[in-house]
Structure 1
Amino acid sequence: MGDAIKLHALLGGTFEPIHYGHLQPAEALAAKVGLQKVTLMPNNVPPHRPQPEATPAQRVEMVRLAIAGNPLFELDMREMQRSTPSYTLETLEELRAERGPRQPLAFIIGQDSLLTIHKWHRWQELLSFCHLLVCQRPGYRSEMETPELQRWRDEHLTRDALLLQQTPAGKVFLAETPLVDISATEIRTRRHQDKSSSDLLPPAVSDYIDREGLYRNPLPRDMLRR
């Protein structure tokens, strides 16, 4: 059995760029609940969202640089390789089929995502495929939007990390992880304003952004119209 019964977790995102707000809570979560592996899954952006400034290849390379030498993390490219919008539920279906029915799987989200989980594609099925590991986020309320959603959360809630290891899916775990108040938007804004963001992301990622000339000052509006 060996590796088949160890808890693995998934962390998806645009990662534009990847930063300490992604990495540090995941590392704290791993220590708290006994995660053996955290799989980072960069995703393509659905058509209704702004396209990233960095190319897909640049976003992937930033993830590679951020996790180099850290055995906790691995990279999964499946969502990046899709030409259609990626839905978390469909990715979880694929992973469950690959890893079998007994493998404990978890999906890492922030408190903000839990509060809007009912807007996700086929959200009612998520816990059939994984646990949800919820990281605290600064400034977000703890109560769900409606009594029905609160009951759903409470029915699946556990504070027993061992239970996450012993069951393949079905639980919501609220994690007291570090409150790392960093956003990729803040990093890009700092860069556009020619301010340093090196305190917010790994040095290798910061150096890569400099080398690639990413997130430079935007062109003046009259230049954009030409």
Structure 2
Amino acid sequence: MTNNQQGLQALFGGTFDPIHYGHLRPVEALAKQVNLQKVILLPNHVPPHRPQPEASPIQRLEMVRLAIQGNPLFTIDTRELEKNSPSYTLETLIAFRQELGPRQPLAFIIGQDSLLSIHTWYGWDKLLDNCHLLVCSRPGYATHFSDPIMQNWLQQHKTENPDQLRHTPHGYIFLADTPLVNISATEIRQNLSAGLNSEKSCNELIPEAVMNYIKQQHLYQK
């Protein structure tokens, strides 16, 4: 590894409304599989494909900070949170690539559901010019495209060798064998709104520090 390379880094974006173990545990397992040196969490400000978050940008950032405190794998980048326009993944990846240079290995983490709809993303066909895609398993989603053109695209870029991710800057898709954690932020918000927030159930879904902050801020309550 050259002096200007820092091992394989990966970006992981989301609204994190709230951040929960369904975000964290698969990524931690993925990091062990492919030897990620760092995972950079990217809270979105205005997600282009999803409803707007209920918690404010400041609240969501604080929940992410609380969720990862003491875990050296994770760090936070706030550039998307500071934008008032939609956050397009390609634009963020191009900015990181310009900062890191052409040789630094860089990956972007998505779920299987996002892979299957990736052809709807802005500039999707240029993503692999800037990064690798690391795909976490998701309960209930297919492992292949029904469209033969997209399936061919996947087969052309797929690798099962983590060394290729670490020794090339971009261009591969890695389908990770991560735990199937069936937790959704929508379900958490609905449970909290309905008062279904027993300590036991919430501590299995959300880090305790995040749960305490949600209560303190009276988040997700009607």
- Shared fold per TM-score greater than 0.5: yes
Check 1:37–1:3 CA distance in 2 against 1; reply closer, same or farther (3 A cut).
farther
Report % sequence identity. 59
| Residues 5 and 165 in structure 1, CA contact (< 8 A), matched pair in contact too | no
Question: Structure 2 counterpart of 1:205, which letter?
Answer: V
Instruction: Give the distance between the partners of 1:9 and 1:164, measured in 2 at CA.
Output: 11
Unaligned runs of 5+ in 1: 219-226
Does the residue aligned with 1:158 lie in a helix, a strand or coil? Answer: coil
Instruction: Give the distance between the partners of 1:142 and 1:108, measured in 2 at CA.
Output: 16
Structure 1 residues 82-122: Cα deviation after superposition (integer angstroms, max 9, x where no partner): 11101000000000000000100000000000000000001
| Residues 7 and 106 in structure 1, CA contact (< 8 A), matched pair in contact too | yes
Question: Structure 2 counterpart of 1:107, which letter?
Answer: F
Task: Look up the match of 2:121.
Answer: 120
Question: Structure 2 counterpart of 1:183, which letter?
Answer: S
| Residues 8 and 107 in structure 2, CA contact (< 8 A), matched pair in contact too | yes
Unaligned runs of 5+ in 2: none
Question: Structure 2 counterpart of 1:208, which letter?
Answer: Y
Q: Report how many residues are paired.
A: 217
Instruction: Give the distance between the partners of 2:21 and 2:124, measured in 1 at CA.
Output: 28
Task: Look up the match of 1:175.
Answer: 176
**CA deviation after TM superposition for structure 1 residue 3, in Å:** 5.6
Runs of 4+ in 1 over 3 A off after TM superposition: 46-49
Greater Rg by CA? 1
Does the residue aligned with 1:190 lie in a helix, a strand or coil? Answer: helix
Question: Structure 2 counterpart of 1:203, which letter?
Answer: E
Task: Look up the match of 1:95.
Answer: 96
Does the residue aligned with 2:205 lie in a helix, a strand or coil? Answer: coil
Structure 1 residues 149-198: Cα deviation after superposition (integer angstroms, max 9, x where no partner): 00000000000011100000000000000111101001101101101223
Question: Structure 2 counterpart of 1:80, which letter?
Answer: L
Compute the RMSD of aligned alpha carbons: 1.2
| Residues 11 and 109 in structure 2, CA contact (< 8 A), matched pair in contact too | yes
Task: Look up the match of 1:195.
Answer: 196
Instruction: Give the distance between the partners of 2:195 and 2:20, measured in 1 at CA.
Output: 18
Is 1:212 matched with 2:217?
yes
